[in-house]
Structure 1
Amino acid sequence: MTEAATGMGRHRLFAGAELRALRRRSGLGQGAMAARIGISVSYLSQLENDDRPVTRTVADALARAFPLDWAGPSGDADAKLAQMRAAMDDPLFADLDEPPALHRAVEQQPDLASRFIRLHAAYRRAEERRQMEDDAIATGVGGGARQPWEEVRDWFHLAGNYVDPIDRAAELLAGELDAQPLGDGLIAHVLKRRHGVDVISSDDEAAAMRRFDGPRGLLTLGRALPPETRRFALAHQLALLEFKGQIGAVAQAADLKSTEAQTLLSVGLANYAAGALLMPYARFRETARALRHDIDRLCQRFGVSFEQACHRLSTLQRPAARGIPFFFCRVDMAGNITKRHSATRLQFARFGGACPLWIVHEAVAIPDRILVQLAETPDGVRYVQMAKGLVKASGSYARSPRRYAVALGCEVDHAAEFIYADGHDVANRAAATPIGISCRLCPRTDCDQRAFPPSDRAIEVDPDIRDVVPYRVV
């Protein structure tokens, strides 16, 4: 067969083993796999048995259907092609068609393709920084006025919410302990054996949820802590002691303005390590994909809370082993975003309120019920997201429980991998709710839910006309 016939280069390229492994990882039969990539079952069978080579058309279909899993027989070239296609999907190029021979450009000019990919990534980072500044200016919060916790929050965001040395160290320790899920008793045993730390419980309602007395080697946990929170607190303490060097090095290298921010970052990194210890990267990513990111089932497998599992999914950004790009946020009863990260093109307001049309606001008022929303941002990108209201008990009638909601979502291109998208017509643009970042940053002029006009647009007020909002954006 000629190069033109295969479309894959000078040699016939076979990938039967890779195709079978991909199909089994995805939990698909041959019929479902063939339908997913638009070929017949008999053709797929021939490909899997290496009776026929993988053509460029098939490789392109596999890259579109399995963008995170399909590396293909040409490895780096196909991965680079997928990255090029992701960059081309940016709304920046919405008025341009994909080049007709993009795969050939990647194969013949790999260095140029790499430069384009890096340039686009730099552009996205610059856009995020500009958006952060616009958000700060629009709400009157200057860069120097940011609180330490805001500095730390933005540090994690710009780091991609993935910290490689800490994540790998936690995964290595989890492998040594070799238990799934990691139980309270095992973590407490390791704390005692390796660090001489005893764990006790306290009934004192006024006491902190977790208190560590280093000189005495004593960790005190509140007895009212839910099991998942208690397990996370134990993992946090173990991470602080086990990964002190890695945490210190990362915190020291961070360009933060205050010692309070440095300390908060160290705490945040220990929390990150605790999540990575309870949900080791490769094992968690593989299980999540097999379960199609069913959060409740992940909680059962790893002994973690709903919020912990959602948060961990947003950190699966290891190069060459990425998870689905998710956005994640936590919103309190007042609409404040208290946690947030996005590996998608969706970005959150850093100051002020979030878009009132997001389903997460409704979820706060309806605890323990999962709501699903198909949404579209002003740049035309559509997302499917689920939100769930949660109540964290205080352990006493005298103290109000904490009520909040978490949201997790991805772009519709990944809907087939996200169980919460089942039953929703993700291809129907008319079914999507138009959402924005925040009212001050949203360019939509026809939204009836506005709290404020856009900060960069003038308004016109006619005293003789009253509509839903008392002004018109011009």
Structure 2
Amino acid sequence: MAPPRLYAGERLRALRRAAGLNQRAMAARLGLSVSYLSQLEGDERPLTAAVIAALARHHPQELAAIADEAPARRVAALAAALADPALAPLPPEAAVRLAEERPDIADRLIALHAAKRDAEERLAVAEETLVAGGDARLPWEAVRDWFHAAGNYIDPLDRAGEALATTLATGGGGLGEAALVAALHGRGIAVVTDDDGDAPLARDRPGLLVLAGALPPESRRFQIAHRLATLAFADQVAAIVAESGLASVEARHLLELGLANYAAAALLMPYERYRGEARRVRHDIDRLSRVFGISFEQACHRLSTLQRPGAAGVPFYFCRVDMAGNITKRHSATRLQFARFGGACPLWHVHEAVAIPDRILVQQAETPDGVRYISMAKGLVKPSGRFTRAPRRFAVVLGCEASHAADFVYADAVDRGGAAMPIGISCRLCPRADCDQRAFPPADRAIAVEPETRRIVPYRVV
């Protein structure tokens, strides 16, 4: 028996408006004509397999709310699996029919793809651990891995931060420093400033929060929010740490700090409001920073955490790179995963951004698996507060798969139909045989040295 026709005009229109798109933009995203989309929204036509497949690619969470939950999630997961370049392409309509008519086979394909991705990640970890010369599970790395396994989204803290923000917000929904200071004062904590140039960013003292005088306004607000979150969500944080499975005391303390940072971000950038505004401005970081009174880095980092089930944001990757090329923060909700050790690909524009502060660079890149990404990088300088202490210099990067370019304002700066920069994860893990920028041979490939032939790289990957 053929499945019943699905008319979902009102919900499709609500989805489009929630994404901040007009009919022309939504039609372009789904590969439809404007008139056809109008007929779908007017319930003059049912959702076809091709439309469902397009929704699965671009709005998998929302599709589950439109269609029956389980079948829609199967379609979305199957579409993601079949997008892997290692698999032969399957027309979208055929994928939807497979999910509907043979759900058992679809589920096995989804499980096989998940196992393939897991094996690839385990292989990368094993190779990098060998390169590093031993056990990489130091406390800092253990906590990073914990956040990665959690998808960088901590639901209890995110919802608690959002609720507290609603309670504290003053006229117009704002949450200024005065409101945060008043909330701390209500808990018996006063906020004072230390103008000593060598003072730490913040110090907790009995009844006091001591802030460095050199902190810019957005950093002051974050430190105040951090102390407030530490007090307000102590029970939630303790429960999460107790269930984390982290072995060392140092790792558990680092996780407590990371969870308090997460909760502070959830308080200053409440989930639904931040996600909605980000969609409205197409993830323009400068505009988000101005609206929420946050730093450029804070705005980028928060976007990488918007993965609430049923209300997920655009899947982004985010990282911070210092002057030496070390990745000091990282998270990816995309297929791109960062190297755990060593430097990043030298062809990645983040290295140029570090040397050119306060200028935004945009790059279209392609990884060895054939996936294209659009990324934005900006070099930042954090003043030290005194001449005798060097400022901190680093760059932040925010990127998404090219399929989400319509939601990423920085994609307007590149020719999406043109050439892409071929990048890898790191030289040790990159299989490309023809890269002139290679610093090391790949860990799993042999090399050939040919003395009679002079190349830029003195060996050939075989």
TM-score, length of structure 2 as denominator length: 0.93
Q: Percent identity?
A: 62
Give me the whole-angstrom Cα distance separating, in 2, the residues matched to 1:334 and 1:121. 34
- By how many angstroms is 1:51 displaced? 3.5
Matches within 5 A, 1:58-457: 58-64=51-57, 66-67=59-60, 69-71=62-64, 73-76=66-69, 77-93=71-87, 95-98=88-91, 101-110=94-103, 113-114=106-107, 116-118=109-111, 120-140=113-133, 142-143=134-135, 145-179=136-170, 180-193=173-186, 195-213=187-205, 216-428=206-418, 431-457=419-445
- By how many angstroms is 1:318 displaced? 1.5
Superposed CA RMSD in Å reads 2.2
TM-score, length of structure 1 as denominator length: 0.91
SS in 1 for 2:6: coil
Instruction: State the one-letter code of the partner of 2:304.
Output: S
Distance 1:425 1:68, change over 3 A: farther
- By how many angstroms is 1:242 displaced? 0.8
- By how many angstroms is 1:100 displaced? 5.8
Give me the whole-angstrom Cα distance separating, in 2, the residues matched to 1:199 and 1:174. 19
Greater CA deviation, 69-78 or 272-281?
Answer: 69-78
Unaligned runs of 5+ in 1: none
Give me the whole-angstrom Cα distance separating, in 1, the residues matched to 2:447 and 2:50. 51
On the 8 A contact 2:50/2:93 being kept in 1, the answer is: no
On the 8 A contact 2:353/2:361 being kept in 1, the answer is: yes
1:463 counterpart residue number: 451
On the 8 A contact 2:49/2:97 being kept in 1, the answer is: no
On the 8 A contact 1:228/1:305 being kept in 2, the answer is: yes
Q: Deviations over 1:302-323 (max 9, x none)?
A: 1111101111111111222211
**Are residues 1:18 and 2:11 paired?**
yes
Distance 1:119 1:285, change over 3 A: farther
Unaligned runs of 5+ in 2: none
Q: Deviations over 1:339-377 (max 9, x none)?
A: 011111111111111111100000000001100001111
Give me the whole-angstrom Cα distance separating, in 2, the residues matched to 1:458 and 1:328. 32
Instruction: State the one-letter code of the partner of 2:46.
Output: P
- By how many angstroms is 1:121 displaced? 3.3
- By how many angstroms is 1:412 displaced? 0.8
On the 8 A contact 1:365/1:389 being kept in 2, the answer is: yes
Distance 1:245 1:321, change over 3 A: same
On the 8 A contact 2:49/2:93 being kept in 1, the answer is: no
Distance 1:471 1:200, change over 3 A: same
1:44 counterpart residue number: 37
- By how many angstroms is 1:253 displaced? 1.7
Give me the whole-angstrom Cα distance separating, in 2, the residues matched to 1:256 and 1:61. 40
On the 8 A contact 2:169/2:179 being kept in 1, the answer is: no
On the 8 A contact 1:59/1:72 being kept in 2, the answer is: no
On the 8 A contact 2:202/2:210 being kept in 1, the answer is: yes
Give me the whole-angstrom Cα distance separating, in 2, the residues matched to 1:138 and 1:307. 31
Give me the whole-angstrom Cα distance separating, in 1, the residues matched to 2:165 and 2:19. 25
SS in 1 for 2:375: strand
On the 8 A contact 2:20/2:279 being kept in 1, the answer is: no
SS in 2 for 1:422: helix
Instruction: State the one-letter code of the partner of 2:234.
Output: K
SS in 1 for 2:86: helix
- By how many angstroms is 1:70 displaced? 4.0
Instruction: State the one-letter code of the partner of 1:471.
Output: Y
On the 8 A contact 1:328/1:409 being kept in 2, the answer is: yes
- By how many angstroms is 1:42 displaced? 3.9
- By how many angstroms is 1:146 displaced? 3.5
On the 8 A contact 1:14/1:73 being kept in 2, the answer is: no
Paired residues, number: 459
Q: Deviations over 1:250-307 (max 9, x none)?
A: 1122222311111111101111111111111121111111111111111111111110
Give me the whole-angstrom Cα distance separating, in 1, the residues matched to 2:400 and 2:195. 42
Distance 1:186 1:34, change over 3 A: same
Distance 1:65 1:219, change over 3 A: closer
Q: Deviations over 1:198-254 (max 9, x none)?
A: 1111111222110001xx211100111011111110111111111111111111222
